[in-house]
Amino acid sequence: MILDKINGPEDIKKLNKQELDVLSQEIRDFLLEKISTIGGHLASNLGVVELTMAIYLAFDLPKDKVVWDVGHQSYTHKILSGRKAAFDELRQFGGISGFPKRKESPCDAFDTGHSSTSISAGLGLAQARDVLGEDHYVVSVIGDGALTGGMAYEALNNAARMEKNFIIILNDNNMSISENVGGMSTYLSSIRTGEGYLDLKKHVTNVLSRVPVVGDSIIEKISRTKNGIKQLLIPGMLFENMGITYLGPIDGHNTKALTRAFREAKKLNHTVLVHVITQKGKGYSFAEKNPSRFHGVEPFDILTGESKKEKKNPSYTDVFSKTICRLAEADEKIVAVTAAMPDGTGLKRFAKQFPNRFFDVGIAEQHAVTSAAGMAAGGLKPVVAVYSSFLQRGFDQVLHDVCIQNLPVVFAVDRAGLVGSDGETHQGIFDYSFLTAVPSMSVFAPKNLWELMDGMEFALSYGAPIAVRYPRGEAYQGLKEFRSPIEFGKGEMLYKEKDIALLAVGSMVSTGEHVREKLKADGWNCTLANGRFIKPFDKELVDSLAKDHWLMVTMEENVLQGGYGLNITNYIHENYPHIKVVNIALPDSYVEHGNVSLLRKGLGIDSDSIIWRLKKEYLDLERQDTEWKHYKDETGKEKKE
């Protein structure tokens, strides 16, 4: 196998033309075999095999720096840089990440995960190079989807002033996760459907032979050519007019043409954008036909394309999807906004049913939030459905555009809590902290399937900013018997006893159920309350628990800092200083990729770890007597029976 010869970044350069052709096929087979077994991002990776090979042929890694936008398409890069043996553990706990990580390889120049950062980061690397007087190339690889994000435009605007080499490779497969949207996408389509691929050698040289700049490289000729002639030559005039040399479109599955274009791009002393046309899912018919379905996959059967995972119970996303459609049928002011995630957020159903009330704004969370604020100011009831980690992008817009004006925007915050294999960049573990910090924002977290339905209905009738936050995966179907009406700022008592109170929110209510069962089996009295509202939290509920519990355990799937537990703790310390409080929450750190149950265990938020901690810190028998003594002293009353 040719692939066996690839163990480091220089190895591909030793191959001849035929071997390169075989290599691209072997890489596709390898990707298909591994991803069909363990899951991961498939279609984008199948599309960039030749593009990545050409980068390795034209540049010298790790000396030259390549920044991959989002980074979900970096698998061939990982293979070529010498990591193929680690693919059995891709995206699994302790294994390699599905995204570039500087700590993983010197060939990973910059960590990515969220979209549209690559041009800014690449430009920064190039500026560092120039200030430090170093000599290497910097390349940012950005997809057409990522080019819908605002950061990319801020960076292009800045990159146009560059007076040294900086290369942007635009990987245009005419797809985001779903269909790409918007004016830039239309513009790129017009180039794609234009004259066909740029054949640098024949076409451009022929045309340029009429231009009086002999002796230069092709790319130098193009860049020195007068604008009028360029208009005839160059499809990407939008970039040209900004001051960025456009080169393309190039056939993204022709390694030779790509390598030649990249070598030409290296000759310029400013920013050059190489426009590469690829096919998402290339080489696997099911993914070619349905790139959205094969964007990110669970293990599947290569022959049939069918998922190997058994049909699951409805996810929270499914529940949200159906609920918003049901509510929108009854209220035509309800509109829905997504930042390029109609599939992932479940808004696809809404888009089909209410096409005129659905807005996919591209990968543009900031714009999604502010445009929703505008819609609310204009009299609509917008629901912004967004993953927790991507909402981080829209923080200022939540504060500045929605909350200062107290506008009734509902945030359906999906993938909140630990998401698993995507790791650090995608864990939704900060939203309680950043949302509760904003005045006039309320935050609600359902304990199960039915509470999400009721919570959405409540949120849409509330009339002010509110976030409904729920996790990735199956909706919890336990605790069905508890369905008291949602009241603003009020929690819900589930099992009322005394001594130990578990006060849990969102996904941690079901964990609380297990903790309580185990504590009871060990002879402890234990109350379980569902906080429901993270902000404002239910003070009356805390007051009532304070009457007959000496230990209060708060439980949340969010970092401790700024989260639910610390707010409760402050309140208890101020008002009931004799009560012990334990905060079960995530630590002040980034959580790497891995299976969610493993991560929960490792981070101490699964039921066994919680019991272990409670027993170790508070519930051994000697301590128990001490705690009661302390409690009696503080209150002056004998509480123990």
Ligand X SMILES: CC(=O)[C@@H](O)[C@H](O)COP(=O)(O)O
Would you list which residues are annotated within the binding site? 72, 113-115, 144-146, 173, 284, 365
Choose which of 39, 145, 149, 236 interacts with Mg ion (CB under 5 A).
Answer: 145
* Partner touching 393 among Mg ion, ligand X, ligand TPP, none, CB below 5 to 8 Å by kind: ligand TPP
Query: Is-catalytic flag, 457?
Result: no
Amino acid 416 reads A
**Contacts for 310 with CB less than 8 Å, ≥ 6 apart:** none
Asked whether position 143 contacts ligand TPP by CB under 6 A, the answer is yes
Phi-psi label, residue 320: left if phi above 0, alpha if psi -120 to 50, beta otherwise: alpha
Q: Which region, judged by CB under 5 A, interacts with Mg ion, from 174-182, 291-299, 425-433, 519-527?
A: 174-182
Residues 49-78 that bind ligand TPP (CB under 6 A): 69-70, 72-73
Peptide bond into 249 cis (omega under 30): yes
Give backbone dihedrals phi and psi of 277, rounded to 5 degrees, phi first: -100, 120
Site string for ligand X, 219-258 (x = CB under 6 A): ----------------------------------------
Choose which of 34, 65, 72, 516 interacts with ligand X (CB under 6 A).
Answer: 72
Amino acid 547 reads K
* Partner touching 35 among Mg ion, ligand TPP, ligand X, none, CB below 5 to 8 Å by kind: none
Q: Which region, judged by CB under 5 A, interacts with Mg ion, from 87-95, 147-155, 161-169, 173-181?
A: 173-181
Q: How far is CA 291 from CA 3, 47, 180, 183, in A?
A: 26, 10, 12, 21
Residue for token digits 């930042």? 339
How many CB atoms are closer than 10 A to CB 17?
A: 8
* Partner touching 129 among Mg ion, ligand TPP, ligand X, none, CB below 5 to 8 Å by kind: none
* Separation CA 571–CA 86 (nearest Å): 48
Active-site residue identified among 26, 240, 264, 365: 365
Residues 307-336 that bind ligand TPP (CB under 6 A): none
* Separation CA 118–CA 471 (nearest Å): 28
Query: Is residue 359 within a helix (H) or strand (E), and if so which, with residue range?
Result: strand 358-360
Asked whether position 177 contacts ligand TPP by CB under 6 A, the answer is yes
Q: Which region, judged by CB under 6 A, interacts with ligand X, from 210-218, 256-264, 272-280, 415-423?
A: 415-423
* Partner touching 64 among Mg ion, ligand TPP, ligand X, none, CB below 5 to 8 Å by kind: none
* Partner touching 296 among ligand X, ligand TPP, Mg ion, none, CB below 5 to 8 Å by kind: ligand X
* Separation CA 336–CA 354 (nearest Å): 9
For ligand TPP, the closer CB: 282 or 447: 282
Residues 462-481 that bind ligand X (CB under 6 A): 472
Q: How many residues bind ligand X (CB under 6 A)?
A: 10
Encode 314-341: b = buried (16+ Cβ within 10 Å), e = exposed.
Answer: ebbbbbbbbbbbebbeeeeebbbbbbbb
Strand-strand pairing, 442-444 and 533-535:
antiparallel
Query: Is-catalytic flag, 154?
Result: no
Asked whether position 362 contacts Mg ion by CB under 5 A, the answer is no
Query: Is residue 335 within a helix (H) or strand (E), and if so which, with residue range?
Result: strand 334-338
* Separation CA 302–CA 291 (nearest Å): 15
For Mg ion, the closer CB: 28 or 580: 28
Residue 270 burial (CB < 10 Å; 0-12/13-18/19+)? middle
**Which residue ranges are tagged as binding site for thiamine diphosphate?**
72, 113-115, 145-146, 173, 284, 365
Active-site residue identified among 280, 415, 469, 600: 280
Site string for ligand X, 284-303 (x = CB under 6 A): -----------xx-------
Query: Is-catalytic flag, 393?
Result: yes
The first and second tokens of residue 380, run together, are: 């609509």
Q: How many residues bind ligand TPP (CB under 6 A)?
A: 23
For Mg ion, the closer CB: 26 or 144: 144
**Contacts for 170 with CB less than 8 Å, ≥ 6 apart:** 142, 143, 144, 147, 188, 248, 273, 274, 275, 276
Active-site residue identified among 393, 472, 516, 600: 393
User: Least distance from C-beta 345 to ligand X, angstroms?
Assistant: 9
Catalytic residues, by residue number, are 280, 365, 393
Residues of this chain that interact with Mg ion (CB under 5 A) are 143-145, 173, 175
Residues of this chain that interact with ligand X (CB under 6 A) are 70, 72, 177, 295-296, 344, 415, 419, 422, 472
